[in-house]
């Protein structure tokens, strides 16, 4: 069974600084997807970034980028130039490469952005 | 706005009540999901429907009964719930054409009294 682990229950960062959230996962599959979702107090789960396991290049979306280490089964999220609106719960998630496949989530990391 | 709409946003029900949660998407997705989010726990997958067929039931008690009448609608029928069923219930949808991205609704906050 696949598992996803986020070892940082809480993180904080100063506005305009950079923060990295950690995620590790366990799977025997070779093809899969990894995601970071953001859940602000509004409860809406918002997709931040996605990585295909077959791609060696790390995904980037504006201020958000990942460090994907397939051999180490590590998938960290880097937020650059942090903004107050980045404050939220961040979830790392795994999905097999099949439509209708489950998303397996980590426990989440609560990110606080200090002005 | 993700294109996935859940109603109601909040629901308080007694243990003897019967209620239903509704999820609707018009994104052309062919897979829909129910997740349960409890405090201090990871999101738990409850049910998966793909092409209107239930493909996964993650050992959910029978007091939760899903229904997928078509690819755009998903329901979760609730009856004789327990206080420990109080949680945020999230619906999601996905499709291969979106690169297997799952889009979530805003959830229904359920309180069982």
> Is the pLDDT score of B9 beyond 60?
yes
Contact A44 B109 (CB under 8 A): no
> Is the pLDDT score of B3 beyond 60?
yes
Q: Which chain B residues have a beta carbon less than 8 Å from that of A35?
A: 101-102
> Is the pLDDT score of B20 beyond 60?
yes
> d(Cα B108, Cα A43) in Å, to the nearest integer?
9
Q: Coil, strand or helix: which one is B101?
A: coil
- Kindly report the nearest CA distance between residue B71 and chain A, in angstroms: 12
Q: Token pair for residue B25?
A: 């998407």
What pLDDT digit, counting tens, does each position of A17-46 carry? Answer: 999 999 999 998 888 999 999 999 888 899
Q: Could you tell me which residues come within 8 angstroms of residue B113 by beta carbon, excluding any fewer than 6 positions away?
A: B12, B13, B14, B15, B83
**What band does B58 get if pLDDT is binned at 50, 70 and 90?**
confident
What pLDDT digit, counting tens, does each position of B86-112 carry? Answer: 999 999 998 765 556 789 999 999 999
Closest residue of chain A to B100, computed from CA coordinates: A99
Q: Token pair for residue A72?
A: 């180490």
Choose the weakest-confidence range: A18-27, A72-81, B51-60, B69-78: B51-60
Q: Are the CB atoms for B49 and B42 separated by under 8 Å?
A: no
What pLDDT digit, counting tens, does each position of A65-114 carry? Answer: 999 999 999 999 999 999 999 999 999 999 887 655 678 899 999 999 99
The predicted model gives B10-25 an average pLDDT of 94
> Is the pLDDT score of B82 beyond 60?
yes
Q: Are the CB atoms for A103 and A35 separated by under 8 Å?
A: yes
CA atoms within 13 A on the CB side of A44: 10
Choose the weakest-confidence range: A60-64, B13-17, B106-110: B13-17
> Is the pLDDT score of B19 beyond 60?
yes
Q: So what's the pLDDT on residue A38?
A: 96
> d(Cα A28, Cα A48) in Å, to the nearest integer?
25
Q: Which chain A residues have a beta carbon less than 8 Å from that of B106?
A: 42-44
CB-closest option in B31, B42, B43 to A99 = B31
């Amino acid at each position: 069974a696949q598992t996803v682990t986020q070892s940082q229950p809480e993180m904080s960062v100063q506005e305009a600084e950079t923060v990295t959230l950690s995620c590790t996962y366990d799977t025997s599959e070779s093809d899969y997807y990894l995601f970071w979702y953001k859940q602000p107090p509004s409860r809406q789960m918002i997709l931040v970034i996605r990585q295909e396991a077959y791609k060696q290049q790390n995904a980037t979306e504006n201020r958000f980028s990942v460090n994907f280490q397939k051999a180490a089964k590590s998938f960290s999220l880097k937020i650059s130039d942090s903004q107050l609106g980045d404050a939220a719960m961040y979830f790392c998630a795994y999905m097999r490469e099949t439509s209708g496949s489950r998303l397996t989530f980590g426990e989440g990391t609560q990110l606080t952005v200090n002005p | 706005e993700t294109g996935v709409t859940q109603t109601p946003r909040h629901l308080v029900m007694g243990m003897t009540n019967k209620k239903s949660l509704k999820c609707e998407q018009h994104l052309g997705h062919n897979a829909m999901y129910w997740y349960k989010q409890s405090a201090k726990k990871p999101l738990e997958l409850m049910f998966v429907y793909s092409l209107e067929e239930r493909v996964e039931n993650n050992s959910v008690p029978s007091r939760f009964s899903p229904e997928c009448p078509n690819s755009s609608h998903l329901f979760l029928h609730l009856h004789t719930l327990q206080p420990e069923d109080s949680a945020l219930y999230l619906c999601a949808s996905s499709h291969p054409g979106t690169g297997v991205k799952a889009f979530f609704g805003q959830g229904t906050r359920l309180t069982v009294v």
